[in-house]
A and B are shown apart, each in its own frame.
Chain A
Amino acid sequence: MMEWAWLIPSLPAIAFALMVVLRRWLPNWGAILATGSMAVSFALFFFVFADWFGEKSFPGDYTFIYSIDWLRAGDAVLTWGMWIDPITLTMLGLVTAAALGIQVYSWGYMAHEPRFTWFFAVHSLFAASMLALVMADNLLLLYIAWELVGICSYLLIGFFYDRRSAAEAAKKAFITTRVGDVGLLIGILLLFVETGTFELSAIFAALANGELSEGVVTGAALLMLMGAIGKSAQFPFHVWLPDAMEGPTPVSALVHSATMVVAGVFLVARVFPFFEASDTASLVLLCLGAVTALGAAAMALVMTDIKRVLAYSTLTDLAFMMLALGAGSVTAGMFHLLLHGFAKATLFLGAGSISHGSEQTDIRQMGGLRRRMPLTALAFGIGALSLGGLPPFGGFFSKDEVTLAVFHGQQFGWVFFIVALTVGFMKALYMGRVFFSAFLGKLKPENEHAHESGPSMLAPMLVFTTLGAVGGLLAFGWTDGYGGFGYFVFAGDHQEGFHLNWGIAGASTVLAVAGFGIAWLAYVTGSLRTEGIIARVRPVHTLVANKFYVDEVYQWTIDTVVLTLGNAIAWVDRALVNDVGVNGPGSATSWSGSKLRVVQSGKLYSYALGMVLGFLALAVAWWVAQ
C-alpha cells in the first residue's frame, strides 16, 4: 500500500485537471469529482497509515522512502519520490480530513457562486499541492509543491477577483510569500551546491556526518526559515494573512487549518535537523515566534472583524508552533499544528456559518446568535474554548506541550516560557471575546432573521469540533501499538511521552480561566468597561489597532524605495533596453537603408564600380597588412 501513497496527492490533481479541461461539458456538479477524489485520498490515507504501522516495529523511527529517477543531467540525478514518516502521516491525515470536510462544507456555502466548479478545481489543486509538499522526498519536489501551494492560494484568495480588495489581497499574499520563497530557493540551492543532491536523506546524512560547515548549516537553516516564515506568515511577513480573509471563508478555513500557513511549520519540522544543529537558527526561530505571538495576540484582541480576529489568532498559534520547534520539540510543534488545525477549521467554518446565516462579519454587530444558530454556537464555542486552552479540550494539551517544551528549551527558556504563558492568557482572552460577543448576550434586532446553516455545512463543522475536542487524547498512549504522540512524532532520538507538569499545566489553566473570565465580565455581563480600559491606554490601542503600522511602513518602503528603484529600472528598460537595444537596431537598419538606397542606382556600371573598388580596398588592406 505504501507504494501507492503517491495516489493521495495525484487524485485531487487529476480531478483538478479534469475539471479545468472539461469545465465546459461538466454540469455544476462537476465538483463531485473534487470531493470524490478527496474522499478517496482520505480513505487511502488510512490504508497508508495502517500499512506504516504494520511495517515498523514500534516504537522506533521508520521512514519510508520510495523514489524514481526523474531527470539525469550528467552526474546529477533528480528523483521524484515519497518520504513517509510520522510527520508526513500527521500532515496527510490533517490535510485530507480538512480538505474533505471543507469541500463538503463548500457544497453548501458556495452553492450560489457562479464560479462554483472553478472553486472546487482550485481547491483540489490546493490540497493536492499541499499533499505533494508533505510527501516530497527531495527539496526540489518540495519547492515545486511549495510554489503550487502559493499559486493556489493566490487563485483562491483572489477568487472574487472582480472585487478590488480581493485582487489586492491575493497579490499581497503572493508577493509577500514570494519574498520568503526566494530565501527558500537560495537555501535549497545552497544545499545542492554543498551536497550535490536535493534528496533529503542524502542531505541529512551529510549533515549528520559533519560534511557541512557550521556556516552552511546556519545559512541554509536561516534561508529555509525565511521561506517558512513567509508561508506561515510570521513577523515580518505576517501582513498577508489577515488580508487573505478576502477569499471565501472555506478557503480561509483551509488556508488556516491545514494548507498554506502550516506549510512553513511543516518545512521547519521537515528540515528540523538543521535547526537542531544550529543554535543561531533556533534562536532566530524562537525570537520570531515570540515577537509574532505577542504582536498577533495583541492585534487579535482589538480587531472587530471576526475573520480577522481568527486570522491573528492563527498567527499566534503558528508562532506557538515555531516556538516549540525553536525550543527543540518537533512533537509539541506538530501536535499543536494538528489540534490547531481541527480547532481553526471549526472556528472558520463557524465564522462562515455566521456570515452565511446573518450576513454579519463585525463582532460588534453580532450577539446572541446562539438563539438563532445553536449548533454553530456549540461548535464555535468548543473550538474557541479548545483554542483558548481550557481543559479538557484538545487545545489545552497541545498548548501545554508547547509551553512545556519552551520551558525546557535550551536557550533563554524562561524568557520564552513567560512569553508563552502571556500569550496563552491573551489567547483565552480574545477567544472568549469573539465567542461571547458573537453568540452570547442579547440578540440584536437586525439579526432577527439570522438562521442556522444547512446540514452540508453543519456536518463537517461538527466533525471538526469533535476532533478538536477529543484530539487531546492523542497525546496519551492508549493502545499497545501507540505510546502517545510523543512516541510517534519526534526528532532524532528523544521520544517524549506526554507528561503533565502539574505546575505549568495549573498555571496555564489558571491563566486561561482568567482570560475567559475577564472576557465574560467584559462582553457578557458588561461589568468590565472595555471603553474605559481602551481610553486609558489610547496610544497603545491605536498602535495595535493599526497593526503596529507595519503595513504602512511596508507601503512607505514600496512607495519610496522600491518604486524609485523601479522607476529607475523602468527608465533603463525603456530608454536603453527598448529604445536603444531593441528598437535601436531596427531603426538603425531602416535609417541606414534609407540613406544607402541611393547606392542602389540600378545602373550596372555602378555595381561593377563597387566590385572594382572593393578589389582595390582589399589590395590596399593586403598592402597595409604586409
Chain B
Amino acid sequence: MDAQAVAFAIVAVVALVSGIGVVTTRNVAHAALFLLVSLASVAGVFILLVAEFLALVQVLIYGGAVTIVLLFALMLTRAEEFSNVRANPQWLVGALAAIGVFGAMGAVILNDRLDTQALQGPSLKELGGELFTNWVVPFEIASLVLLMALIGAIILARASDNDAPGSGG
C-alpha cells in the first residue's frame, strides 16, 4: 500500500463521511460546512488524479463561491427552521433507492474493469490550449450561461411589492 493509496483512502473517507453529514444533519449551516469539507476532499482526489488546476478551481468555486452563496442565502432568509430541518416522510424509500443506485453502479463498476494506463495528467498549458482552441465555442456558450444565470438570479431575487409572505404571489 503506497502513499498515494493511503492518501486516497483518507480523502475518500473524509469525502464520504462529510457527504453523509451533509445529507443527515438537521442544521442547514452545519450541512453547508460539511459540504465544504466534502468538496475540499474532492479537490484532494483531483490532486491525486493529477489534475491540480481542477483542484484549484474546485476549491475556489465551490469552497469560495458556492458555499459562500449558500451561507449568504441562509443569512438572508434567517429561517428558524433551518436550525432543525427534518427529513421528509419518504426518507426511508429515498435511502433504499440510494442504496439501489449505489448497488447498480457498483455492480457495473466491479463487473466491468476497464484497462487503465499509467496515471499522468496534462500540463496547465495543454489544458488552456485545448480549452481555447477545440473547446472555444462551448467555452463562450458557458460564459453566456453564466451571464444569463446572473441576470436571472437578479430578477428572481429582486424584491417586489406583492412578495409579502402568504400573499400567494
Contact call A615/B93, Cβ cutoff below 8 A:
no
Cβ of B88: which chain A residues have Cβ within 8 Å of it?
603, 605
CB-CB nearest in chain A for B93: A609
In the complex, chain B residues 79-106 whose Cβ is within 8 Å of any chain A Cβ: 88, 90, 93-94, 97-98, 100-101, 104
Contact across chains for A612 and B101 when beta carbons are under 8 A apart:
yes
Interchain CB contact under 8 A, A613 and B104: no
Residue numbers in A under 8 Å from B97 (CB-CB): 609, 612-613, 616
Question: Roughly how many angstroms separate A365 CA and B90 CA in the complex, as a whole number?
Answer: 97
Distance (whole angstroms) from the CB of A203 to the closest CB of chain B: 68
Would B93 and A616 count as touching, CB distance under 8 A? no
B95 to chain A minimum Cβ distance, whole angstroms, is 11
Q: How far is the CB of B102 from chain A (nearest CB, A)?
A: 11
Nearest B residue to A605 via CB reads B88
Is A606's beta carbon under 8 Å from chain B? yes
Binary A-proximity of B59-92 (CB < 8 A = 1, otherwise 0): 0000000000000000000000000000010100
B91 — nearest CB in chain A belongs to which residue? A605
Q: State the CA gap A609–B101 with chains docked (Å).
A: 11
Whether, in the assembled complex, A619 has its beta carbon less than 8 Å from a beta carbon of chain B, the answer is yes
Contacts of A605 in B (CB 8 A): 88, 90, 94
Q: Which residue of B lies closest to A603 (CB)?
A: B88
Residues of A280-307 contacting chain B, CB below 8 A? none
A606 with B90, Cβ < 8 A, contacts A612-B97, A613-B97, A616-B97 known: yes
A613 to B100, CA, bound (A): 9
Check B100–A616 contact: CB distance below 8 A. yes
Q: How far is the CA of A542 from the CA of B21 in the complex (A)?
A: 107
Please count how many residues in chain A sit with their CB below 8 Å of the partner chain's CB atoms: 9
Band of interface residues on B: under 10
Please classify the interface of chain A as helix (H, G, I), strand (E, B), loop, or mixed, using the class held by over half of its residues. Answer: helix
Interfacial chain A residues near B94, Cβ < 8 Å: 605, 609
Partner of B90, one of A609, A616, A619: A609
Indicate if the CB atoms of B93 and A619 lie closer than 8 Å.
Answer: no
Chain A residues near B104: list those with CB within 8 A.
615-616, 619
CB distance from B103 to the nearest CB of A (A): 9
Q: Contacts of B98 on A, CB cut-off 8 Å?
A: 612
Q: What's the Cα separation between A381 and B78 when bound, in Å?
A: 115
CB of A233 to closest CB in B, whole Å: 78
A605 to chain B, nearest CB (A): 6
Interfacial chain B residues near A613, Cβ < 8 Å: 97
**B87 and chain A: residue at smallest CB distance:** A605
Give the chain B neighbours of A615 by CB distance below 8 A: 101, 104
CB distance from B168 to the nearest CB of A (A): 15
A606–B93 alpha-carbon span in the complex (Å)? 10
A211 to B80, CA, bound (A): 98
> Distance in Å from the Cβ of A609 to the closest Cβ of chain B?
6
Instruction: List chain B residues, Cβ under 8 A from A619.
Output: 104
Binary contact readout A600-622 vs B (1 if CB under 8 angstroms, 0 otherwise): 00010110010011011001000
Q: How far is the CA of A619 from the CA of B97 in the complex (A)?
A: 12
Closest residue on chain B to residue A618 by CB atoms = B104
Closest residue of chain A to B101 (Cβ to Cβ) is: A612
| Measured CA separation A605–B100 after assembly (Å) | 17
A612 to B90, CA, bound (A): 13
Contacts of A616 in B (CB 8 A): 97, 100-101, 104
**How many Å from the CB of A616 to the closest CB on chain B?**
5
Tell me which residues across on chain B come within 8 A of A606, comparing CB atoms.
90
CB-CB contacts below 8 Å: A178-233 with B = none
Complex Cα distance A612/B104, Å? 11
Instruction: Tell me how far the C-beta of B21 lies from the nearest C-beta in chain A, rounded to whole angstroms.
Output: 20
Chain B residues with CB below 8 A from A603, complex form: 88
How far, in whole Å, are A547 and B94 apart by their CA atoms in the complex?
86
* In the complex, chain B residues whose CB is within 8 Å of the CB of A612: 97-98, 100-101
Instruction: Report Cα–Cα, A366/B101, bound state, in Å.
Output: 103
User: What string of 1s and 0s marks CB contacts (under 8 Å) between A81-96 and chain B?
Assistant: 0000000000000000
Which A residues lie within 8 Å of B101 (CB)?
612, 615-616
Query: Chain B: which residue is nearest A611 at the CB level?
Result: B97
Considering the chains assembled together, what is the distance between the CA atoms of A609 and B93 in angstroms? 8
Distance in Å: Cβ of B119 to nearest Cβ of chain A: 29
Question: How far does the Cβ of A487 sit from chain B's closest Cβ, in whole Å?
Answer: 90
Q: CA of A245 to CA of B101 in the docked complex: distance in angstroms?
A: 85
Q: How far is the CA of A605 from the CA of B93 in the complex (A)?
A: 11
- Distance in Å: Cβ of A249 to nearest Cβ of chain B: 79
A612 to chain B, nearest CB (A): 5
Instruction: Report which A residues bind B (CB closer than 8 A).
Output: 603, 605-606, 609, 612-613, 615-616, 619
A-B CB proximity, top 5 nearest: A619-B104, A612-B97, A616-B100, A605-B88, A605-B90
Can you offer 7 A-B residue contacts whose CB atoms are under 8 A? A603-B88, A609-B93, A609-B97, A612-B98, A613-B97, A616-B101, A619-B104
Given contacts A616-B97, A619-B104, 19 further A-B pairs with CB under 8 A are A603-B88, A605-B88, A605-B90, A605-B94, A606-B90, A609-B90, A609-B93, A609-B94, A609-B97, A612-B97, A612-B98, A612-B100, A612-B101, A613-B97, A615-B101, A615-B104, A616-B100, A616-B101, A616-B104
